[in-house]
Amino acid sequence: MALVKCPECDKEISSIAEACPHCGRPMKTGHRTVEQTSKRLKLQKPLSVLIAIIGLLLVLTDLDGSQMGGVGILLMFIGLIWFFVVAIMVWWKHG
């Protein structure tokens, strides 16, 4: 257990306190975890887009109908579904 300073009244309070006992300011103890999660989610968004773009490129460059076209469509689907899952999870956390 550590003591932290309340950003509202500048008095020392327990870091695990849910609210400041002096001024009643609610302390978000889970704030850091949420921040890390959203940061990880933000990283996943461009990754999922990248996978979808790679898939699209595979489809577009697959002029002779080889197996790469199928792989490309699969990658596009994975990328799009991943993108929507991340978008929903971000919305869920912030909504």
Interacting residue ranges for Zn ion, rule: CB under 5 A = 6, 8-9, 20, 22-23, 25
Q: Closer to Zn ion at the Cβ: 6 or 52?
A: 6
Beta strand ranges found along the chain (DSSP E): 3-5, 12-14
On whether the CB atoms of residues 19 and 10 are closer than 8 A, the answer is no
Cβ proximity to Zn ion: between 8 and 62 the closer is 8
Taking the complex as a whole, the smallest distance from the CB of residue 33 to Zn ion amounts, in Å, to: 22
| CB closer to Zn ion, 13 vs 52 | 13
The percent helix, strand, coil of the chain (3-state, each to 5) is 60, 10, 30
